[in-house]
Amino acid sequence: MPSNFVTCLSFFPPNAKCRMLNANKQRGLLLDRDGVVNIDRGYIHTRAAFTFMLGLFPFLRIAQDRGYRLAIVTNQAGVARDLYSVRAYEDLTAWMLEALRSEGITIDLVLACFEHPDGVVEPYRRESFWRKPNPGMILEAAQRLRLDLARSIMIGDTKRDMEAAQAAGVGTRLWLTIDSVENLPGVTVVRDFAQALTAFEAG
């Protein structure tokens, strides 16, 4: 008998290996922050300026109840631009997570990219593979949470969110916006979380 599971996999054809490995992975709901979790007023870094989006709480509860792991992946170039500090970002994030917990929602992971090539603060004045539209944060979230990205969902409010999700191989990509936007292959445009839930259930 094979001595371990990895050795055991070698007795199956390649497609069976993939099915077995993916069966151990979970579905994820990946969220941008500003414009999805909260109203985007530009470089939000205080509680006073932070307002949760209407319809967010029930949507996240449904996703959580259906077994999705919840992750926030957010560009925070305000740090590189010296508009707020890492500490300010961390304090606001801690408050946000506690507010969500009070609504019965547990966020499994929050990742942020502070870098920007036009920044003024070292060492954040540079490009980063984590900075959307690059897929780095999504791939990191998938690794940490053991996500099957092909069965996961990304909700963002900008084209760069959709591009990052596509590059990472996220199966369902929802563009949350009330504006007229270009059609992107494989992207569903939703105006609010009610429409997002319809698309979510269809997926």
Annotated active-site positions, please?
32, 34
Rounded CA-CA distance 40/182 in Å is: 20
Rounded CA-CA distance 15/42 in Å is: 46
Q: How do strand 109-113 and strand 69-75 relate by DSSP bridges? A: parallel
DSSP 8-state class, residue 122: T
Residue 90 structure tokens: 């961390």
Rounded CA-CA distance 199/202 in Å is: 5
Q: How many CB atoms lie within 10 A of CB 6?
A: 8
3 state SS of 156: strand
State the Cα angle at 146 between 144 and 152, rounded to 5°: 110
Rounded CA-CA distance 113/131 in Å is: 6
CA atoms within 13 A on the CB side of 161: 26
